[in-house]
Amino acid sequence: MRCKTLCQEYNRLPIEDLDIRRQMLKRILGKTGNNIQIEPDFWCDYGYQIEVGENFYANHDLVILDTGGVRFGNNIFIAPFCGFHTSGHPIDFERRNQGLEYAYPICVGDNVWFGAGVQVMPGVTIGSNVVIGAGSIVVKDIPSDSVAFGNPCKTIRKITDDDRQSNWSR
């Protein structure tokens, strides 16, 4: 309840008061860099099981179910409506109806961009220098230096020198 109450308070803060919002995030999260920004609404289970590095930005409607722990590296960009879910429930109804659940950690390297609506499932490790395309459901590990997308999310290709030289024109 402590964490839910802090998230509720955070989501009600004035949007222009970045310093107070940053201070509140440092109360909610287990470990943070100095440059962290999460747009409201933001929800998590415990908070203290979440670690974020330097230059962490998340757009609106981020959900982190952190029972198993979630660790983000440096230079992370998260688009709106993303979720990181460390918990799950048994497939068989007998154990599920007993209220049993499991939790596996999520680990994200440095320099990762998550497109809108990405959902990361329990136990996934995402390497560094990765782009996860919008709408992806990440159920398996993604290697470093990759572009990945889909449902289920799959590595499509490596990031190349051509990507670094792109002028972003259509």
Report the catalytic residues. 89
Using DSSP's 3-state secondary structure scheme, residue 4 falls into helix
What pairs with residue 70 in β-bridges?
A: 50, 106
Cα separations in angstroms, 115 against 16, 20, 44, 55: 24, 27, 20, 17
d(CA 100, CA 131): 34
